[in-house]
Structure 1
């Protein structure tokens, strides 16, 4: 045949199928249930957004990796590279005047032109939780607690790396840096380009301030009390940095009260994130055996303001595709037991459909042979698919008002009267 198209997905994009999709969907559904437990409302935002929406506050790192283009109307647009800016816009447009706090949940595909590698794709899925309207630390803790609960639900061993954007921002402002330079320095620190960060600081701030910043970069570990006490001695000349440390102390104390186990929070005062809109507590989550963050977020009190609605906010985004790297290893998904109903002879198809209804009405995954195969071929298909029970409906069965059912695992076969089928379903592990 001439002109066949042989195309694979573009680099960094994937087709998803089979058991992977089942496990992935189970994780997303659990995240959705948790959002409901905490009183969140699910929202959906556009995949294509105005360029300015993300250029304003997402930061250099994101802006340089956006899929941007002119649409047919000549507008400068992007495929969303993340979702928080869209949420801030949505809140300003549709939730203004609502009682605070506003708690929103989303599941969304996002797009970045990154170099593909393990756990990093150009299209990936984020689950997000956002709390808008509260500036108090208990809102930060609720975001942390939701993430903790989600990972514990799947028995995943986690570590929360936590810092506070206000510490470094406060010190750099005190040293005379403008916001643009501060964002560049924090971007370098986020990418671990310490040489570039040092050179930029040497050009823009006093040496004594630069010295304190470099000392803070080494204040990290699990003994959060000692780390915070040591930091207080260094930053006493900056009121903003002092307030940030006190805020971080409250958050960590509350987090441990909410259910975090000792040793699961790793404090890092030199920690920075690549998005420019963060103003307070920031965090990332790492799972045992993975050296990439699977979840991250923080406080962004000034983002909604650029849309004309001055309210504080805090949130996070979970990288579903990265979590899947661990779930595929750790989660043994129990396949639901499937039934396949085979009509023995074309004239018995109608009765086979009636029988399948009994199983489906009880929520049991039930197939009918849609190919009208011969009995042996139908059985071969069922075995290849992994069907647990094969139900035969033929002349004898219809005459005797029963079904023949074969357990492919035990290889046992038996007859069940139609009027006793409901009772049998209740008594077996299928129900």
Structure 2
């Protein structure tokens, strides 16, 4: 293994990629702040127990280390939501809900494939009404539209609907069955039913369950198929959410998927997942988790969403929605008169231009070539011995004289012309 290698599943963002990442986060924050969400920054490493008590699978997913001070096991953050729940239950225990928080950063999971995932998430805690879930969807729509995406859809399901169906039809080996549903494995489900002698109406309704995917008419079809109270209540909540989203004008963004139970173990109700036809996997997921905050000592309903920023960036790059990385002026001072070069750079920066100083001692022709190779649009040469003394190069072979009395002003005048 070479010293320049990094572990599988981790990544480095080079300058242009990092610039794009920062742009995405800036636009996301612009939107989320307008909805009244406040930033929160949980630690990267916590004791393992808060994650384990929420979902034992998080223990399996975690990178684990031993705290040399306490001897306790710690986990590198595998999930943000339990952290936010802990913070609300402890640091805001005397404040009235609702709480609206957002965060961004990496989660780390010790699994094959991607082992660090950059997320932008937001949580609405202390609201049990379905309008809270509709708000989460609306925020996602606003964010994705702000990023320039148009053809995305948000799949909405309900874990309680599926649980009610399993109870009504008395399906055995529910975990195995749920895995088959999650993979939409029709042949696997047919074999599962055959092996357990599930026939007749029970079999037919299970197969129809897998077809409950589509627009709002899916909810009516589901009502005709399943009569248990648990599923009926879930369908009522979905109807309420859809009614709110329709009033917002977002009904075309929504697809109902009642055919599987999505999300983490702590999700207890409505679930969301974001997709785009040009991207093969999920762009983000979330849902309601009404019992999670209570595990840390304060009973509060909650709902939220985490967007996969890595996936979004790949999609935005694929669609060509990024401007090229801007590099405006490269300033080369041949006499190293620091004050003059600094004043020119400052004047350009005050006008919103990117201005970089060349501080490496070398032949100015090499510096100029380096600047154009790096993508700078203009090169400013100060104090050249030959006349004229100050020049603006628009290419390695084309230059213009600058006015000694107002170098920044003459630069700006020239670039308007060229």
TM beyond 0.5? yes
2: CA distance, partners of 1:208 / 1:55: 40
What is the aligned partner in structure 1 of residue 294 from structure 2? 305
Residue 244 (structure 2) pairs with residue 254 (structure 1):
yes
What is the aligned partner in structure 2 of residue 159 from structure 1? 153
Tell me which of 117, 129, 143 is aligned to 1:150: 143
What is the aligned partner in structure 1 of residue 226 from structure 2? 235
**TM-score, normalising length: structure 2:** 0.88
Residue 350 (structure 2) pairs with residue 356 (structure 1):
no
Deviation of 1:100 after TM superposition, in Å, equals 2.1
Q: Secondary structure at the match of 2:3?
A: coil
Which deviates more, 126-135 or 373-382? 373-382
Q: Secondary structure at the match of 1:91?
A: helix
Residue 48 (structure 2) pairs with residue 51 (structure 1):
yes
Residue 62 (structure 2) pairs with residue 66 (structure 1):
yes
Between the two proteins, the alignment pairs up a number of residues equal to 413
Does the 8 Å contact 1:219/1:231 carry over to 2?
yes
What is the aligned partner in structure 2 of residue 127 from structure 1? 120
- Give a deviation string over 1:231-257, Cα, whole Å, max 9, x none: 112222x21211110100111222232
**C-alpha distance 275-231 of structure 1, shift in aligned 2 (>3 A):** same
1: CA distance, partners of 2:182 / 2:162: 12
Q: Secondary structure at the match of 2:110?
A: coil
Which deviates more, 318-327 or 48-57? 48-57
What is the aligned partner in structure 2 of residue 244 from structure 1? 234
Which deviates more, 163-172 or 4-13? 4-13
- Give a deviation string over 1:391-413, Cα, whole Å, max 9, x none: 1211679x99x842222399352
2: CA distance, partners of 1:279 / 1:345: 69
Q: Secondary structure at the match of 1:267?
A: strand
Give the 5 Å matches for 1:180-329.
185-192=177-184, 195=188, 199=192, 212-222=205-215, 224=216, 226-236=217-227, 238-260=228-250, 262=252, 264-329=253-318
2: CA distance, partners of 1:29 / 1:190: 34
Does the 8 Å contact 1:202/1:210 carry over to 2?
no
**C-alpha distance 8-27 of structure 1, shift in aligned 2 (>3 A):** same
Which deviates more, 374-383 or 168-177? 168-177
Tell me which of 355, 368, 372 is aligned to 2:357: 368
Tell me which of 23, 27, 30 is aligned to 2:24: 27
2: CA distance, partners of 1:206 / 1:172: 15
Q: Which runs of 5+ in 1 are unaligned?
A: none
Tell me which of 363, 370, 377 is aligned to 2:366: 377
Could you say what the CA RMSD is over the residues aligned between the two structures, in angstroms? 3.2
1: CA distance, partners of 2:271 / 2:79: 16
Deviation of 1:291 after TM superposition, in Å, equals 1.7
